[in-house]
Structure 1
Amino acid sequence: QGTITVNNPAAGDPTGLQNVFGVTGTEMNTACTFPPASQGVDGWVTKLPAGFSDGLHSVAVKGTSPLDATVGHDLDLYFLDSACALTGSTATSSADESAPIPPGTVYVLTHLYTGANVAVDVKATDNR
């Protein structure tokens, strides 16, 4: 759980690149240090418990913000392996996201596409 301060609508997949994921995501992808120094700027990185990278688990993220009634929010998920390389993503127009965790995933990056001051709650579950 944590709070993401500002959105970054420039992140995502505007040019076909799958690893354009904002300040926090870029730091995690390049420096691969957990937690990143920019934790909470435009994303939140969660380290999964051991055993959750087997492809048999899923993750759901829900956000809440004092601005939800007027501005709303849009969270997207990016999945990174132990070397912080992208293993998958889900980025729909829904406010919150859920998806199966791709095999090999160690970190989940919750990215704030739109909104501000969004508290995020990330829950991983066993699908077996």
Structure 2
Amino acid sequence: MQLVDTHVHINFESFRSDLDEVAFAWRQAGVVHLVHSCVEPNEFKDLQAIADRYPEVSLSIGLHPLDMDKWDGDQTAAQIEALASSDKRVVAIGETGLDLYKAENQATQEDAFWAQLQIAHRL
């Protein structure tokens, strides 16, 4: 059976030293494609380097709802859209959504989520 993992974070520090072993493991398990979720635009270049190294990795880009301190409205939305448009390996907008663990920034989360949905619709 061939599998697709639609939400990975293989750029995390715990994987960096043995990424080739991690890739071997996903291939052995039958995973033929992965979508690497970008939690904030500043990590996008690192994810592109991983996708360069492993052709079965596609990308998503967005801003995680717990990172709303980095949301600067239209400027952040434009950055996400520009990065998404710049690389054909981007197949989704995300990581995005609502996370009410930090309910004090719920309005900002909703604004960011709506903006990212609009980007996804345009692309």
TM category (shorter chain) comes to under 0.3
The TM-score with structure 2 as length reference comes to 0.26
- Give the structure with the higher percent helix: 2
Greater share of strand? 1
Indicate the structure whose relative CO is greater, using CA pairs within 8 Å and at least 6 residues apart. Answer: 1
TM-score, length-scaled by structure 1:
0.26
